[in-house]
Amino acid sequence: MTVLVTGGTGSVGGAIVRALVEQGEAVRVLARRTSKTHQLELLNVEIAYGDIFDTTSIESALDGCDTLFHAAAMYDLWGLTEEELTRAAVEGTRNALDAALNAGVGRVVYTSTAATIGEPRGEIGTEETVHRGYFLSKYEKAKFEAEKVAGSYLDRGLSLSIVNPSQAYGPGDFKPSGRFVMDYVNGRFPGLSKGTISLVYLDDVGRSHAIAASKGKVGERYIVSGDIVSIREVAALLSRLSGARVPPTFPDFMVGMHSYFGEVVSRFTKRPPLLSTETFRGISHGLQVDGSRAATELGVEYTSLEEGARHAIIWYWQQGLLKRKPVCAIED
């Protein structure tokens, strides 16, 4: 049988597609005609043209499929409105799962985010954590609402599991994590903020979805996260692997002001700020989640941060996105 992946042209969706292909699955990807599908076609993936805002096109793409991986969403922490994020997350999820019900799909794996865990400041979140009750970003709020929509389909008989990746990074990532790596290695950061973050390698996210389709329990959430680290620890590792200098750490109020004025400038330049206010809010709050359930119940094996960062830096260098050849590329 064939499996359908929505969002397969994105970084997380692309990782899911690669994992499924490696597993020997016949993969079909729902994509708009304006999407870049060349890399998927190199994997001999079938492209079904459609849109998550068009339920009929999703149902058509699901013809002959026994599993749906719904990873399509809009994601960034700058430049997107709450309406845009919510429509893609909530309406897109509702359309995809309605189509899955109508098509009689036997299994659904829904891609959420660890941001929806909503752990209070200073705590490490798990799948049982009660959300703190307020949101650190528009994206978190949109995905929180979308995850509730996804969960409601369990009562309608849909066999669904939820995967909650933490901050994903790795080759092919051009979202906030990827931009941070490139900007840092290129020496664009004048300073660092305090705070912690949970990270997971992109390929681990892809494999966790593939495994969840067969081993995941219906109705369960699985946080996928390999490391909880401070921003200083991330910076030290990137510097050691790339040769970039480690900038000083500044107090929160200074970093917060920098993020605010950076966004003001970005409104004119239309380029993402080095640090958005929502990114600063999340890091200063601390994004800390525990990915051990996925490791124990699904058998997910996490790539070490050093290995993952090395692969990412070398990939960005190979794409011509770094100013200087990083130390780790010279060593290889």
> What are the residue numbers of the active site?
139
Say if strands 160-165 and 221-224 run parallel, antiparallel, or are unpaired. Answer: parallel
DSSP string of 273-285? Answer: -SS-HHHHHHHHH
Residues 18, 203 contacting (CB under 8 angstroms): yes
Sign of CA dihedral 194, 170, 168, 149: positive
Neighbouring C-beta atoms of residue 296, cutoff 10 Å: 9
The residue written with tokens 């043209």 in the block is 49
Minimal CA–CA distance to 288: which of 209, 221, 231, 211?
231
First-to-last C-alpha distance (Å) of the chain = 41
CA atoms of 241 and 171, how far apart (whole Å)? 15
Which residues 6+ apart lie within 8 Å of 229 measured at CB?
196, 197, 199, 305
